[in-house]
A and B are shown apart, each in its own frame.
Chain A
Amino acid sequence: QVQLQESGPGLVKPSETLSLTCTVSGGSLGSYYWTWIRQPAGKGLEWIGRIYTSGGTNYNPSLKNRVTMSIDTSKNQFSLNLRSVTAADTAVYFCARVSIYYFDNWGQGALVTVSS
């Protein structure tokens, strides 16, 4: 069973860049898409985007101008950068594997707070 683990700073200042990494263990990145999803406290789920092992991406247009995803197959990791953050970006950020089109393996989530 593949396992995913998010890592990165838990506190980011407004206007700065949120950076998270997801490390995949128990399997390779293989021929999968990998995705980021976030959830503000007490609210629903928002899809941020996805990245393929070749580096191809799809982003949510609501975040597109601020989001960049990257992948490092040698480290079995993929990453999320979200620029110019505000308090509205405070959320738990999940990474997940995309199996065909559904999200079948998730990380435990990483809380990121945007505050000065």
Chain B
Amino acid sequence: DIQMTQSPSSVSASVGDRVTITCRASQGISSWLVWYQQKPGKAPKLLIYDASSLQSGVPSRFSGSGSGTDFTLTISSLQPEDFATYYCQQAHSFPRTFGQGTKVEI
């Protein structure tokens, strides 16, 4: 299985901050990388696919980059509704695997 490792596990930030989350794959996955946002008690929400393509309706303050084994999710100016847990997921091979999550909190 491909292991996905996110860092940090949690980050404290304030409204307006720039936040960067890193995701590393245990082997190369090209650009087969997806990012989701999950709020407590809710299902995950698709943010970014193909490592850098923004899902329709997702604010442009979210961006993704990377290829191969190293990826980043950046929130350019944190908004109150962005406090949540973020997961990366590889779609290069089966079984699909997720990172352990990064909690963005105040």
Looking across the interface, which residue of chain A has its beta carbon closest to that of B6?
A44
CB contacts (< 8 Å) of B44 on chain A: these are 45, 94, 103, 106
Instruction: Count B-side interface residues using an 8 Å CB cutoff.
Output: 22
What is the predominant secondary structure among interface residues of chain B facing chain A?
loop
Looking across the interface, which residue of chain B has its beta carbon closest to that of A60?
B95
CB contacts (< 8 Å) of A94 on chain B: these are 43-44
CA distance A60 to B94 in the complex (A): 7
CB contacts (< 8 Å) of B99 on chain A: these are 44
B64 on the A face (CB < 8 A): no
B20 on the A face (CB < 8 A): no
Looking across the interface, which residue of chain B has its beta carbon closest to that of A63?
B95
Can you list 11 A-B pairs, Cβ within 8 angstroms, ordered by A?
Answer: A44-B87, A45-B101, A47-B98, A60-B94, A102-B34, A102-B89, A103-B46, A106-B45, A107-B43, A108-B42, A109-B43
